């Protein structure tokens, strides 16, 4: 990383990214990242970061878990050295992560992770070796008993022999020899079981003295009876050690044979972990993938310097490289000019390192051959360089090295010396850089440079906005006009005496004061215009939302009206069918009477009665309900009313007298209508002296959920199906079954043709196993 990258604080960003890495190797790779200088390489890095983002946050793939660096273990294992338990456990972790990464990537067939799938193809792992190490080694110091049959047998003999030795020595603790012992314990000295005997009784216990306490009061004696058993125990311990060495050597040989593959795995896992770290950094910092180009075009949309607090930082947008090559930023001190300058260069470096940038979608960045900057105070006491001298040395190097496809960032050129000479020098520097074909951003307070940017076709002015009323910077960049430094206004805000500020203002030349007044007035007018524009945009958005809501309400009302129409149609069909059936029933009874060969007076009376009954029912149907308009002031919840616009009765649910509207429940529908459309239904008055006819109409039967069409023709089946669907719709059913049988298929075809055209059929299907299969159609209603 060169000093220009350090001045733009790329090293701090890389440290932030490295914090998300799990492996030491990937942390080191990230910290040593060098920005790509070709468009293809930079795009490859960003593509891999994008794939890592997809894997982690869309597909749910697991991260790479940490394992310790293997050091020289692989080399030693290849040369025949035996690795320790801890080293082998770490190798098993490496093999496990290689296996998990490979299978984790290949578990998804998403075409968006083609790069990671190609990367994982370089992975090699030995699942059997991994399992051997995992199952045979318990921890960093011990092998499992089941590591081999021989080790299991040896350890079993060691345990049994140890128990026999303890049992024999326990007799000393409970027998007559107990009085010779210092403590009632069996201990070990030099891998041999011994008992603690008081020094004065050491000749009373036959055996070999192995040790003595520090005070000399206790000697540790191995009794003669356990001598051979202890010898046998030591022999078994040596056998155990040899078997352990053999197992570790065998495992180490397996690791040695895989040295090349494991080194490749380490490299691949470190690379993948590096992209995972970049993806996590981008996710947690709300970053986006920039659109790269090799033409020097930069368009940052709502960018935020990643080292600023994302909760308080003000997003900045800027453009460079298409209509103009150099952007000259002016404005108040502490207004964000330098931060904007550094952000632009830092974003390009981040993208060239495969790191997403904290900006809005659509941000465009360029891949430059070199990025040069002169930012901050580079004064050097050791080299006897003043601020001005250090800046000139930096600029000298920039002018020497920068050319086409390079980005130059200079903060306050020509500063630290006489203003008139500084302005002239700054103008000359900018002219040289433009002629060299560079792209760049420059900050300044010089009025002469602002005028120069106006005149030059490949330069553009920009300013950091300033609130003239509150005397505070707004940290927003506006391109197209220069900004005032507002130094005297800021001095007033910071508490400098008013008389001092006023005196300073008097020393300004008339030309300077006029220029500053013009800039300030233009700025205030622009802010007012933008405020009006924002207000208009808000009103437009509000009315669009209202229009959208009205369109939704209209669509819902249209749907309800259509549903009510079909419900009314079905009800009319039901009434007609009911009356037709009743009339046919009465006519059938009359015909039965007249089929007799001889008719008596009672038959004639019965026939006349049936005829009169049919006439009474016809008159009842023809008689209309007389309607009385409701009184809006007396309309109450729960009353039954007649809705004129729908020609149906309903129950009042709520009344809004101030708006002369009411909500009425009509069947399964809730409608809001005007009170002028509501009437009180009243029964026809009885004719005096007439006969009162009482109609007892039974409650309508519940609509069945299944229609049986077996034995019907195709035409009859279609008619029955249409009536059945209308009745089901009125009853509020959502799903019904139609049994048409298998047969020739004509009835099923007629039914399906009707269902296909019916406006209230959402879908239909043949029955499944257990539902009747092809002999049944299941219909879902809207």
- The mean per-residue pLDDT over the stretch 522-547 comes to 78
Among 365, 391, 363, 367, CA closest to 377: 391
The secondary structure of 751-779, three-state, reads HHHHHHHCCCEEEEEECCCCCCHHHEEEE
Lowest mean pLDDT among 59-73, 194-208, 660-674, 757-771: 194-208
pLDDT higher than 50, residue 699: no
- Average pLDDT for 52-60: 93
DSSP labels for 557-597? HHHHHHHHHHHHHHHHHHHHHHHHHHHHHHHHHHHHHHTSS
Of 176-190, 361-375, 707-721, minimum mean pLDDT range: 176-190
pLDDT score for 361:
94
Sign of the torsion formed by the C-alpha atoms of 317, 321, 323 and 328: positive
| pLDDT attached to residue 517 | 60
Q: Taking all residues of the chain, what is their mean pLDDT, rounded to a whole number?
A: 82
Question: What is the tens place of the pLDDT at every residue in 366-398?
Answer: 999 999 998 865 444 344 456 778 788 888 899
Mean pLDDT, residues 500-515 taken together:
65
Per residue in 422-474, pLDDT (tens digit) is: 888 989 999 999 999 999 999 988 888 888 888 888 999 888 876 655 556 67
Indicate if the pLDDT at residue 171 is higher than 70: yes
| Integer angstrom CA distances of residue 564 from 43, 113, 119, 735, 762 | 60, 53, 63, 19, 17
What is the DSSP annotation of 675-693? GGGEEEEEPPPPPTTSPPP
Given this model, what pLDDT does residue 2 score? 66
Lowest mean pLDDT among 207-216, 376-385, 527-536: 376-385
Q: What CA–CA distance (Å, rounded) separates 346 from 353?
A: 11
Decide: helix, strand or coil at residue 185. coil
The sign of the CA dihedral 49, 53, 54, 55 is positive
Burial 219-255 (b: 16+ CB within 10 A, else e): bbbbbeebeebbeebeebeebbeebbeebbeebbebb
| pLDDT over 80 (residue 608) | no
- Indicate whether 744 pLDDT > 90: no
Whether the predicted pLDDT of 707 surpasses 80: yes
Q: 469 exposed, middle or buried (CB, 10 Å; 0-12, 13-18, 19+)?
A: exposed
Q: By the 8 A CB rule, do 26 and 277 touch? A: yes
CA-CA distance, 712 to 688, in Å (whole number)? 51
User: How far is the first Cα of the chain from the last one, in angstroms, to the nearest whole number?
Assistant: 66
Lowest mean pLDDT across 112-116, 443-447, 560-564: 560-564
Q: Tell me: pLDDT of 364 over 90.
A: yes
Residue 255 has pLDDT above 50, yes or no: yes
| pTM recorded for the entire structure | 0.61
3-state secondary structure of 370: strand
**HSE, side-chain direction, 13 A CA sphere, residue 38:** 3
Helix/strand/coil for 480:
coil
Q: Length of the chain in residues, anyone?
A: 782
Q: Which of 133-147, 263-277, 443-457 has the lowest mean pLDDT?
A: 443-457
User: Minimum mean pLDDT among 109-123, 336-350, 522-536, 713-727: which range?
Assistant: 522-536
């Amino acid at each position: 990383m060169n000093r220009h990258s350090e001045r733009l604080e790329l090293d701090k960003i890389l440290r932030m990214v490295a914090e998300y890495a799990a492996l030491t190797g990937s942390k080191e790779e990230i910290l040593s990242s060098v920005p790509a200088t070709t468009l293809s390489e930079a795009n490859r890095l960003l593509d891999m970061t994008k794939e890592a983002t997809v894997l982690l946050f869309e597909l749910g793939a697991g991260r790479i878990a940490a394992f310790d660096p293997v050091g020289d273990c692989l080399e030693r294992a290849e040369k025949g050295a035996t690795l320790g338990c801890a080293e082998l456990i770490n190798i098993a972790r490496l093999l496990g992560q290689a296996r998990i990464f490979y299978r984790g990537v290949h578990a998804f067939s998403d075409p968006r992770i083609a790069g990671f799938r190609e990367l994982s193809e370089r992975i090699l792992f030995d699942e059997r070796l991994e399992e051997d190490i995992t199952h045979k080694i318990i921890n960093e110091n011990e092998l499992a008993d089941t590591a081999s049959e021989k080790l299991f047998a040896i350890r079993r003999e060691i345990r049994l022999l140890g128990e026999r030795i303890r049992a024999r020595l326990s007799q000393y603790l409970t027998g007559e020899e107990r009085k010779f012992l210092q403590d009632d314990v069996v201990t070990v000295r030099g891998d041999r079981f011994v008992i603690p005997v008081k020094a004065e009784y050491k000749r009373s216990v036959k055996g070999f003295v192995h040790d003595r306490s520090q005070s000399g009061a206790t000697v540790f004696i191995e009794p003669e009876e356990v001598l051979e058993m202890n010898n046998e125990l030591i022999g078994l311990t040596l056998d155990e050690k040899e078997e352990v060495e053999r197992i570790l050597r065998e495992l180490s040989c397996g690791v040695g044979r895989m040295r090349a593959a494991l080194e490749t795995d380490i490299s691949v896992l470190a690379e993948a972990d590096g992209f995972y770290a970049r993806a996590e950094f981008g996710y947690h910092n709300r970053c986006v993938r920039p659109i790269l180009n090799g033409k020097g075009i930069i368009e940052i949309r709502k960018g935020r310097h990643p080292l600023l607090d994302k909760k308080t930082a003000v997003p900045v947008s800027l453009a460079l490289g298409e209509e103009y090559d150099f952007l000259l930023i002016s404005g108040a001190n502490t207004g964000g000019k330098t931060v904007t300058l550094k952000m632009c260069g830092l974003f390009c470096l981040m993208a060239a390192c495969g790191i997403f940038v904290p900006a809005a979608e659509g941000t465009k960045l360029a891949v430059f051959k070199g990025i040069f900057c002169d930012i901050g105070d580079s004064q050097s006491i050791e080299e006897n360089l003043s601020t001005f001298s250090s800046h000139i040395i930096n600029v000298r190097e920039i002018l020497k090295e920068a050319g086409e496809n390079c980005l130059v960032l200079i903060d306050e050129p020509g500063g630290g010396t006489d203003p008139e000479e500084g302005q002239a020098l700054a103008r000359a520097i900018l002219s040289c850089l433009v002629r060299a074909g560079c792209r760049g951003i420059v900050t300044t307070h010089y009025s002469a440079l602002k005028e120069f940017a106006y005149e030059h076709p490949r330069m553009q002015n920009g300013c950091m906005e300033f609130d003239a009323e509150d005397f505070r910077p707004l940290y927003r960049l506006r391109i197209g006009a220069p900004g005032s430094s507002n130094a005297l206004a800021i001095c007033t805000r910071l508490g400098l005496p008013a008389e001092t500020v006023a005196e300073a203002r008097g020393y300004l030349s008339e030309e300077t004061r006029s220029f500053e007044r013009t800039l300030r007035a233009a700025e205030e007018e622009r802010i007012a215009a933008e405020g009006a524009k924002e207000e208009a945009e808000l009103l437009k958005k509000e009315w669009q939302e209202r229009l959208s809501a009205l369109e939704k309400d209209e669509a819902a009302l249209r749907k309800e009206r259509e549903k009510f129409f079909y419900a009314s149609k079905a009800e009319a069909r039901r009434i007609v069918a009911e009356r037709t059936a009743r009339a046919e029933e009465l006519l059938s009874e009359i015909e039965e009477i007249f089929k007799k060969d001889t008719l008596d007076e009672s038959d004639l009376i019965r026939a006349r009665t049936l005829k009169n009954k049919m006439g009474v029912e016809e008159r009842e149907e023809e008689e209309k309900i007389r309607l009385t308009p409701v009184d809006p002031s007396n309309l109450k919840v729960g009353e039954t009313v007649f809705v004129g616009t729908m020609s149906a009765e309903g129950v009042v649910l709520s009344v809004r007298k101030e708006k002369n509207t009411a909500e009425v429940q009509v069947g399964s529908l809730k409608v809001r209508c005007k009170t002028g459309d509501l009437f009180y239904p009243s029964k026809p008055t009885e004719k005096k002296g007439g006969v009162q006819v009482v109609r007892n109409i039974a409650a309508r039967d519940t609509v069945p959920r299944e229609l049986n069409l077996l034995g019907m023709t195709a035409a009859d089946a279609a008619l029955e199906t249409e009536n059945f669907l209308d009745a089901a719709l009125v009853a509020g059913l959502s799903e019904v079954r139609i049994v048409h049988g298998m047969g020739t298929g004509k009835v099923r075809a007629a039914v399906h043709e009707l269902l296909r055209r019916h406006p209230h059929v959402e879908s239909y299907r043949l029955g499944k196993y257990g539902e009747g299969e092809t002999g049944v159609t299941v219909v879902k209603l809207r």
